[in-house]
Amino acid sequence: MQIGSVKLANQVISAPMAGVTDRAFRILARENGCGLVVTEMVSDLALIFANPKTLRMLDFRNEQSPLSVQIFGSDPETMGKAAAIVVERGANIVDINMGCPTPKIVKNGEGSA
């Protein structure tokens, strides 16, 4: 399977699950045959303002490629900047969250809003 120029070993892709798909989970998923692992969704603004907790979520040490990072936000300019940040930090794929129905996300015009 291939997404853009990124070739995957198989079609098994982890979902971006808040509070679940941390670094330890991603490493275990990869060791057990996952073709593509995805981070928890991260805020575009948290990336732009270099929020320490958010940056820890993007710790890709000892992880194999390919890796996808899911970002969320509502402003095209900040989303573009956030995408550049995650690519600079090692993401092979940038996934834009357009489906999260959580009220705290939707009330800001993000996710499924």
Among candidate residues 13, 71, 100, 105, the one labeled active-site is 100
**Which candidate, 75, 15, 11, places its Cα nearest to that of 48?**
75
Q: Please indicate whether residue 100 is annotated as part of the active site.
A: yes
Cα four-point dihedral sign 9, 21, 43, 65? negative
Are residues 21 and 14 in contact, defined by beta-carbon separation less than 8 angstroms? Answer: yes
In three-state secondary structure terms, 32 is: coil
Q: Which residues pair with 37 in a beta bridge?
A: 67
Return the active site residues: 100
